[in-house]
Amino acid sequence: MTDIIRLPDELGTQLRQQREALGLSKSQLADKAGKVREVIYRLETGEDTTVSSLLAVLGALGLALRLERAGLPSASDVARRFQQDDDDDDGPA
C-alpha cells in the first residue's frame, strides 16, 4: 500500500481495505489496537480522532505512517470530492 492520501476519507478507505484484507472485524481490530470499536468506525469514515489512536490502529494493521513533502489538495480536487459525495447522495432512496 503506497497510495498518496490527502483527505481523511481516503485514509479511511485504505484502513478499511487493509482491515478487510487481514480478515479482521472492526471489533477485532479495536481489541488488537487497544481501542474501542468507535475509534475504528471514526477512522474508516474519515472522522476526527486522536493521533495516538491513529498510530495504534496503524500498528495493529502492520502499517506505519511516513511523512513526505507534498502539496495540499487543490481547490478543484476538493470540489470534485464534494461533487462525488453529492452525486452519491442523489441516488435512489
pLDDT of residue 51: 96
> Hey, how many other C-beta atoms are within 10 angstroms of the C-beta on 16?
16
DSSP state of 35: S
Tens-digit pLDDT profile for residues 72-87: 777 887 888 788 777 7
DSSP state of 23: T
Enter the CATH code of domain 8-89: 1.10.260.40
The whole-angstrom separation of Cα 89 and Cα 74 is 23
| Intervals of the chain under pLDDT 50 | none
Q: Is the full-model pTM beyond 0.95?
A: no
pLDDT of residue 90: 59
* Cell of residue 58, nine digits: 496503524
Residue bearing cell 474519515: 46
Question: Residue ranges per domain, the chain?
Answer: 8-89
The whole-angstrom separation of Cα 43 and Cα 67 is 18
* Cell of residue 42, nine digits: 471514526
